[in-house]
Chains A and B, each alone.
Chain A
């Protein structure tokens, strides 16, 4: 993940209190740990239950999330670009989807054993794992959702967004190119396109993972500066 940020993102909010809290946790501060167990662990559990996890699933995935935050030092990657609670909750969502995928593979392994030898079945599973991209299920889901939304966006509005925001073409130049329209017309096209991208992305996610309940804000945080920490693979 590049540390370079667009200049017009420089003014975004920094969650200083959350960042300091994360540093206290990393330093092993007892009060911080107590607060984590009182406020954050229940939030992890609530998120997992909301996605349909059983009690046994919750125990296992909660452990994965906490192990990931500390042992793998993902918490150290938290930059304060969004609320820590959102960071933790989305990390839990990622862990849950990866847990489901792993479980699905185990089911497939059992099914294969009935068709040929155990050794061949394991070869298939190992082969499947080695061919899998280093991308977590949530990362793939968000990428697919965004590509779906972009594909549905009005072509002219998308071109305006790309020229304006990615290429720094001035608004008045866009007005000229679009037949001398008022700047408000260009702004309205951009706003409408972003609303459509937001609605289509969330609709795609909701259809693929109905229990995920990810908000637009959480999705942005997952795709933002902390993406690698939140969306990186959880398992081995």
Chain B
């Protein structure tokens, strides 16, 4: 006859009564706090298959749909549609990453993570900055995956290598700029579901732009909106760089023009939304 022993539960070490924990006199500074928070957010992303894999697959799926389902109907004069599409797709992908930022921030509010951090003696602005840094890393990763898939489905840019690298760099900068908007939306929404709803604004923003089709193919009343929103400038800059010239992208103006305009938009977005996000976060009601 065999005797099975119940698994022993580790007893709490409570009888001893005392234990020693040391206090540190100097809490973490801005840089250390930013890194800690960023590290945690990255772990959350890469250890959460749902976030890491689904986000990637979703992007790839849309790229394939646009490339193979709509691609034939949307052939552009100067270049194959796949060359036209991929730069636009990479830039709008930033907004879809942004939705993850908004819901992630809202979850942090909802689940008390921000409360814990705000009750600690660390710089409050660093907590939001850590989030922005981490999400810039994850969107860069997502962007590189998208570009790789783009190459796999026939994307062959004519731009020089420095121009292509500049295009990638600009895209990361645009992503960083948009993150602040989404951090603010997440803070304002306060819970993940509401954040997801608010973040839906990325759909009109991404479709009413030059990302998938040329602006001059849109109805007249829609053109001024599409023409004058940040995403169009960013897509135009990245596309001009990637395709080697604005003409190849079906655009007027010089590449420099589009780079400057889009960079100005990015700076503007950070200048407006970063202080608002930090203020909202700091505020102790």
A and B assemble together: no
Residues of B within 8 A of A (CB): none
Residues of A within 8 A of B (CB): none
